[in-house]
Amino acid sequence: MSVDPLVLGAGPLADAVLDHLRRDGRAARRVDAAPIDHRGPLVVAAAPPTGVAIVGHPVLFVGPGQRAHVAAHDGAIGVGTMLASARFRDALAARLHVDVHRVQAMFAGDPDGPLVPLWTAATVEGVPVHAYEPRGKRPLTVRERSMLSVGAMMGESDAADEARAAARVVGAILDDEGVVLPVCHRVAPFGDAVMAFPARVGATIEPADVALNDAERAALSTLGAP
Residue 50 lies in a domain: yes
pLDDT for 53-81, tens place per residue? 666 557 889 988 888 888 888 778 999 99
pLDDT of residue 13: 87
Q: Could you tell me which residue, 197 or 153, shows the higher pLDDT?
A: 197
Q: What is the CA 215 to chain-centroid distance, rounded?
A: 22
pLDDT for 169-186, tens place per residue? 998 988 899 999 999 999
Q: Whole-model pTM? A: 0.87
User: What is the CA angle 224-41-177, rounded to 5?
Assistant: 75
pLDDT of residue 207: 86
Residue 68 lies in a domain: yes
Q: Is 105's pLDDT higher than 90?
A: yes
Residue 173 lies in a domain: no
Q: Which domain holds residue 54?
A: 6-78
Residue 131 lies in a domain: no
Residue 96 lies in a domain: no
Beta strands in the chain (DSSP E): 6-8, 29-31, 36-37, 43-46, 54-55, 59-62, 77-78, 103-104, 107-109, 115-117, 123-124, 127-128, 179-187, 193-201, 205-207
Residue 154 lies in a domain: no
Percent of the chain exceeding pLDDT 90 equals 39
Residue 59 lies in a domain: yes
Total domains present in the chain = 1
Residue 211 lies in a domain: no
